Amino acid sequence: MGRFSNPNVGGFGQGDAEIVLQLARAAGAVAKLIAKEGKSATLRLPSGEVRLVSQNCLATVGQVGNVGVNQKSLGRAGSKCWLGKRPIVRGVVMNPVDHPHGGGEGKAPIGRKKPTTP
């Protein structure tokens, strides 16, 4: 669509609204213009926070793209590694000093009455 300043429209979603910092820039994020009073406008941010900004701030009409970025399968462990995601290790395969479920001979059960979290 395009960027606009001091819009005469409202009630629809806006992606990439700004103050000094930039708001609603994540994939699929929308900041909604809910009111305009004097020289300020009220935005509802994706977090639910309602913030007052100047009407001279710029915004882009519409929703930020790449909505399904979190639904894409990474495919292999190396792809997660590139993103800085650490592996998830089960407590059963740890040593007893590392987790309450750890230890035992072979594939031993948990060994407690109920599963616990550290």
* Class level of CATH domain 73-109: few secondary structures
Q: What does the alpha-carbon distance between residue 24 and residue 55 come to, in Å, rounded to a whole number?
A: 17
**69 and 27 Cβ atoms separated by less than 8 Å:** yes
pLDDT of residue 66: 87
pLDDT of residue 51: 92
CATH of 3-61, one of 3.60.15.10, 2.30.30.30, 3.30.70.20, 3.30.470.20: 2.30.30.30
pLDDT of residue 10: 54
CATH 2.30.30.30 occupies which residues in the chain? 3-61
The alpha carbon of residue 115 and the mean position of all alpha carbons in its chain are separated, in whole angstroms, by: 30
Mean pLDDT by groups of 10 residues along the chain of 118 residues? 52 57 84 92 93 86 85 91 93 92 88 77
Please tell me the chain's helix, strand, coil percentages from 3-state DSSP, rounded to the nearest 5: 10, 25, 60
| Length of the chain measured in residues | 118
Total-model pTM: 0.53
